[in-house]
Chains A and B, each alone.
Chain A
């Protein structure tokens, strides 16, 4: 972990949707940041605009891919970058998904909207070691078909026997959409998992996380095996500034990934 931004250059910029871009960056100098684990995040600096936290959607040696949605000044500046442009990077920060703790059991990866991005390294890790895990399920919810991230990969997975066993649903179908329509929790009925021996990885809007985690616990998953990624305003990344405080938790340091046993009380208090 470093507090000074390390220069990286953009090696690839791929448009995902109308407002979302996947940026692949590599160290601009002889050395980059320490290795990232799936679920950890970087503070990415767009020169002249500012710095924001971004999780990794692909980890390939020193190359990191961040999937960025243009919702503010910094993220919009990052979405405008092209191959060869430079960014500053700090990290890795926070807790990861700890996929290795799920060895031997079924995996349930549930993503809503942009929440798919930080979960893709979990899918990649499980697919790279198919004998280490049980059944791999990927459940994805999005607003509309045009908003699906990494649509080419999802389409391949959803139309092949897998792994992963991939189910996709949207809130607002477009003409010609042949997939599911409805909330992502409705996909649980089609997932293949043994609740007593499953680890769930969940990322998306917190309303979705809460509904899904409660459903999974109702189905028999132990709360600590429902791993969720939470989001607040990350600033320093080192647990000093307090911007990302959620109750007694500093999410940049103690999160963003945590068990539902710890997250449930935090997401049920109105004042937090």
Chain B
């Protein structure tokens, strides 16, 4: 498992160019919310600059920040899988410039061109697998004393 899940590293050039044809540039000021947990996942983004944090709503408490995403990284994968509902929220923690994609348009492109659709699915799958692996590693609490587990 490597951290090379950025668009440039994970999607072949021809498919990358095709995907970017469907993008338009957007920017978000600090503190703006890109999406909210439980809402319809109708868009996704690739970060060009700045940082986006993913967070989880905890009733009665401050939202817990799960992960932060930076240059080249995919923000949002729930748009790719039914029921197309965001599992987390997202917020710009610094001024963010990004490419924004309409989810319905990209899903239609994937349906029309099986090779392109497979490439996008593999890319999104790699992103999800990488984030799952990272979450599992963090469950180990490696930096705590004896965080790697007790000695045999």
A interface residues (Cβ-Cβ under 8 A, vs B):
19, 69, 71, 112-114, 141-143, 147, 169, 171, 173, 175, 177-183, 185-186, 188-190, 204-208, 211, 214-215, 218-219
- Do the beta carbons of A189 and B142 come within 8 Å of each other? no
Q: Which residues of chain A have C-beta atoms less than 8 A from B81's C-beta?
A: none
- CB closest chain-B residue, reference A233: B151
Report the Cα distance A208→B72, complex, angstroms: 23
Q: Which of B19-27, B60-68, B101-109, B112-120 contacts A (4 or more CB under 8 A)?
A: B60-68
Task: Beyond A207-B137, A207-B140, list 9 extra A-B contacts (CB 8 Å).
Answer: A71-B145, A142-B143, A143-B144, A171-B138, A178-B94, A189-B6, A189-B70, A189-B72, A215-B2
Provide 20 A-B residue pairs closer than 8 Å at the C-beta atoms, listed in order of the A residue.
Answer: A69-B145, A112-B143, A114-B143, A141-B143, A143-B141, A143-B144, A147-B143, A173-B65, A181-B53, A182-B68, A182-B138, A185-B2, A186-B3, A189-B4, A189-B6, A189-B72, A204-B142, A211-B137, A214-B2, A219-B4
Residue B32 interfacial (CB < 8 Å): no
Q: Which residues of chain A have C-beta atoms less than 8 A from B147's C-beta?
A: 113, 143, 205
Q: Which residues of chain B have C-beta atoms less than 8 A from A113's C-beta?
A: 142-143, 147
Report the Cα distance A205→B138, complex, angstroms: 12
- Do the beta carbons of A180 and B70 come within 8 Å of each other? yes
Residue B71 interfacial (CB < 8 Å): yes
Q: Which listed residue, A147, A171, A180, A185, touches B51 by the CB 8 Å rule?
A: A180
- Do the beta carbons of A189 and B73 come within 8 Å of each other? yes
> What per-residue 1/0 map shows which CB atoms of B35-56 lie under 8 Å from chain A?
0000000000000000101000
- CB closest chain-B residue, reference A169: B68
- Do the beta carbons of B2 and A182 come within 8 Å of each other? no
Given A171-B138, A182-B134, A214-B2; A207-B70 close (CB under 8 Å)? no
Report the Cα distance A113→B66, complex, angstroms: 19
Q: How far is the CB of B149 from chain A (nearest CB, A)?
A: 9
- Do the beta carbons of B68 and A171 come within 8 Å of each other? no
Report the Cα distance A147→B143, complex, angstroms: 9
Contacts across chains A and B counted by CB atoms under 8 Å: 82
Q: Which residues of chain A have C-beta atoms less than 8 A from B51's C-beta?
A: 180
- Do the beta carbons of A211 and B1 come within 8 Å of each other? yes
Tell me how many residues of B have a C-beta within 8 Å of chain A: 30
Q: Which residues of chain A have C-beta atoms less than 8 A from B67's C-beta?
A: 181-182, 186
Report the Cα distance A142→B143, complex, angstroms: 6
Report the Cα distance A218→B1, complex, angstroms: 10
Q: Which residues of chain B have C-beta atoms less than 8 A from A180's C-beta?
A: 51, 68, 70
Q: How far is the CB of A121 from chain B (nearest CB, A)?
A: 21
Most B CB contacts (10 A, CB to CB) among A69, A141, A180 go to A180
- Do the beta carbons of B144 and A185 come within 8 Å of each other? no
- Do the beta carbons of A183 and B137 come within 8 Å of each other? yes
Q: Which residues of chain A have C-beta atoms less than 8 A from B140's C-beta?
A: 207
Most B CB contacts (10 A, CB to CB) among A19, A114, A186, A219 go to A186
Q: How far is the CB of A161 from chain B (nearest CB, A)?
A: 16
Most B CB contacts (10 A, CB to CB) among A112, A142, A211 go to A211
Q: Which residues of chain B have C-beta atoms less than 8 A from A142's C-beta?
A: 143
Report the Cα distance A206→B3, complex, angstroms: 17
Residue B87 interfacial (CB < 8 Å): no
Q: How far is the CB of B106 from chain A (nearest CB, A)?
A: 23
